[in-house]
Amino acid sequence: MSNSNIKIGIIGGTGLGDKLGLETGQTVNPDTPFGKPSSPIIHTTWEGVDIYLLQRHGIGHIHNPSAVPYRANIFALKQLGVTHILASGATGSLREEYRPGDLVIVDQIIDKTYKRTNTFFERAAVHVEFADPFCSTMRNWLLNATKYLPSNQALENNDAPKPQNITVHAKGTYVVMEGPAFSTRAESHMHRAWGGDLIGMTAMPEAKLAREAEIAYAMIAMPTDYDCWRPHEVSSKQALLEEIIGNLNRATTNNIALIKAALRDLTILESEPCPAHAALAMGIWSHKDKIPADEINKLQVLWGKYFK
């Protein structure tokens, strides 16, 4: 049982907490300068770890990807003392070897969103490092946990996939599109040419805002189907939908197994520093005496320690 100060926020789709067996706990309804988060946040413990569950799309999946209140979500988790965020989300696959039902510990992002406010800091010049958008310490922690999974081998991009119960890819580039419509076939081929491995709609600005909030952030992507670059092999749209839902259920089951395995051992998180936890140390470029006092107070939760 962990006695550390680590608090883990889990951001996922509807029902993830229920499938994790974590939806019994204290329900918190925080308010933020950016409004209410997508859903009430459930605070519970598992294996002695403080867990905060948030449904990204809201109860009943009411927020489309462009309408998710990303700033409110991350700010609320920061208010609650969350130190690490473990996110998950369904994606399409842009590579033959990233099969539906696999898991991907994402390491890079290509951001194609354009409608979403992607910073907390609108009245100051704040520039965080974002070359590596996902926390390397958290990625190591998740990859270490794969050794506890049944018949698992973490695969590098150039390794041939092997039939096994759970396949976890050790890295992948996630192309984040605005949506809500899916890609055209020409766009899908372009994303592949760019080096994308996965296509989805929710990793940004979530990952960038977590960095600005000095919260370590990692994502487990769940491919549910091949994007439209690859012809579907089913006979009807209904059959395709049923196939995608089946793949999502399988990937979610695999995802939960990985999350539970990781939560049982926080040694890596406790022993290895996360660069995100000091992301603002060199990031505030504005002269602090020129930043409006009301803005400093509004964002006290995020940057207050740098104004003492």
CATH code for the domain in which residue 169 is found? 3.40.50.1580
Work out the pLDDT band at 249, boundaries 50, 70, 90.
Answer: confident
Residue 17 lies in a domain: yes
Q: How far apart are CA 169 and CA 64, in angstroms?
A: 27
Catalytic residue status for 225: yes
Q: Which residues are annotated as a binding site for substrate?
A: 201, 225-227
Residue 158 lies in a domain: yes
Q: How far apart are CA 182 and CA 195, in angstroms?
A: 18
For residue 225, the Cα-to-chain-centroid distance in whole angstroms is 19
For residue 33, whether the previous peptide bond is cis, meaning omega lies within 30 degrees of 0, is: no
Residue 303 lies in a domain: yes
pLDDT of residue 2: 45
Q: Which residues are annotated as a binding site?
A: 14, 56-57, 201-202, 225-227
The answer, yes or no, to whether residue 188 has pLDDT greater than 50, is yes
Q: Is 11 helix (H, G, I), strand (E, B) or coil?
A: strand
- Of 27-31, 106-110, 128-132, 238-242, least confident by mean pLDDT is 238-242
Residue 282 lies in a domain: yes
Residue 179 lies in a domain: yes
The answer, yes or no, to whether residue 10 has pLDDT greater than 90, is yes
The helix or strand, by DSSP H or E, that contains position 105, with its residue range, turns out to be: strand 103-105
Give CA separation, 65 vs 38, 178, 184, 205, 240, in Å: 11, 7, 18, 10, 22
If you average pLDDT over residues 48-68, what whole number do you get? 93
The answer, yes or no, to whether residue 196 has pLDDT greater than 90, is yes
Share of the chain above pLDDT 70, in %: 90
**Residue of 31, 102, 227, 294 marked active site:** 227
Q: Is 306 helix (H, G, I), strand (E, B) or coil?
A: helix
The answer, yes or no, to whether residue 231 has pLDDT greater than 80, is yes
Share of the chain above pLDDT 90, in %: 75
Catalytic residue status for 265: no
In the chain, the number of structural domains is 1
Work out the pLDDT band at 161, boundaries 50, 70, 90.
Answer: very low
Work out the pLDDT band at 14, boundaries 50, 70, 90.
Answer: low
Q: Is 279 helix (H, G, I), strand (E, B) or coil?
A: coil
Residues 6+ apart with CB under 8 A from 211: 128, 129, 130, 133, 217, 276, 279
Work out the pLDDT band at 163, boundaries 50, 70, 90.
Answer: very low
pLDDT of residue 17: 61
Where is pLDDT greater, at 157 or 47? 47
Q: How far apart are CA 105 and CA 84, in angstroms?
A: 15
The answer to whether the CB of 46 falls within 8 A of the CB of 59 is no
Residue 58 lies in a domain: yes
> For tokens 């907390």, what's the residue?
120
Residue 83 is encoded by which pair of tokens? 């130190």
Where is pLDDT greater, at 251 or 196? 196
Residue 136 lies in a domain: yes
Per residue in 64-112, pLDDT (tens digit) is 999 999 999 999 999 999 999 999 999 999 999 999 989 999 999 999 9
What DSSP designation does 160 have?
Answer: P
For residue 65, whether the previous peptide bond is cis, meaning omega lies within 30 degrees of 0, is: no
pLDDT of residue 232: 77
pLDDT of residue 156: 52
CA-nearest of 53, 64, 7 to 201 is: 64
**Residue of 102, 111, 197, 225 marked active site:** 225
Q: How far apart are CA 150 and CA 147, in angstroms?
A: 8
Longest alpha-carbon distance in the chain: 65
The answer to whether the CB of 197 falls within 8 A of the CB of 173 is yes
Residue 273 lies in a domain: yes
Work out the pLDDT band at 242, boundaries 50, 70, 90.
Answer: confident
The answer to whether the CB of 199 falls within 8 A of the CB of 104 is no
Per residue in 140-156, pLDDT (tens digit) is 999 999 988 865 555 55
Q: Which domain holds residue 236?
A: 7-307
pLDDT of residue 121: 98
